[in-house]
Chains A and B, each alone.
Chain A
């Protein structure tokens, strides 16, 4: 089964038609998607500025990374779930959208980022607090995280304008 035929079969499901054609579903799910971006994005930003030493200095890295983790995960789950629903409404459009595939590539890189930096940065923040100065690897993780996150917002927004 090819990818496009999968998209075609999603396109004709009741759920897809309902989100696409119901007047309210799409903006409501879109609104939830945006709010989750703000929540998740705010948490990511707080951790990144702390790692870069640009803010949150009265908190330890362990606090910023550890205590916001639950909200970050919650925001992430909501943003992905609402994103899947938005995508479910128009799979054929997404299949042909260059921005969508860029967004998916960036999303994959977010996973790679999490795996690569888990050991040295996010999984062990106490060690960063003990270090005399913030290790380069932590700064690199923060910079890449901001770039990936902004890239997701931009490529996501551009999907609506692809044609």
Chain B
């Protein structure tokens, strides 16, 4: 009898059920999509924040002072300590290697260009552009094209074109800083004489920073000119980090072993720096505060914003579902009156309504969850160019919330409908 009552109700009042079902589906879809976006936005924005460049720097432990002003390096070339290039792939062997987006070694060398009285000192910066490396079985590429995404290669007339390109890491091609190129009146495709050798200029580099006054070359080339194979002055590392809190800034030396493990296994900028120091011999790793200190604030603001917007979305969907359910039940007063006149108890009537609501909530919840997942994927694709993953654990949660909200929305209407005097209901009065 009971299943039949519910079944017939769905068969004969298809329009109303569809309307209520659509409302639930929509509400659940928006809620699912928003929750998925809100839980993923931290990761996505963290990735986008990497467009500010490296947030960690590794320098030799016993280094002398840098004497650099406005892109001109006054430090004697062989002075100070160096890191060993061969150690760099070990960065991929650190605990948080998956969080390390990329790294770029730098080796500034002072060279003379021009002849006779026109000769002047210019910094030649050796680095990786997009260098293929391997650590163990893992193959990866890294370099300034990953860690310094705002660097652009132009052709000298401020337009990008296919004939000017990034030099290959194993070539003898160099990039000329934008302002240096203007001063020397040289452009892509010209030859440049440095230290008695001629190099092809593959493009003009625009960075908006001191590199605009420098020559940027493959690392191997800078090492040859300096006469120190394998030498690296500093390494920029771009890593995904967790915003700093009071735990992050504690000194690992004073921690108990358990606390130390917890600190070591959290992707703080500090703990990643500590691990970099372990990976590279005789090095000192530190966060670049301009980038590292600010990303936490920006990240928490954006996360907080999306959380609040998601709350607003959940609230709106809950209200929408409740309103739809209330309407659907209110329309059926006559039916309630008839059932009660035939001797049904208030409890029996409520059970029928709740069973119907449950069915609607489940169907709407499943449909809404799938639609919401699709929506989230679409948002991830079109905005962040990457997948927004939906935790499977979200499915039962969403379904439970959908049932709960549908019940809550129906409860008031059901209790009113049940209390209604059957005589009035059947006479058609209100």
Q: Are chains A and B native binding partners rather than an unrelated pairing?
A: no
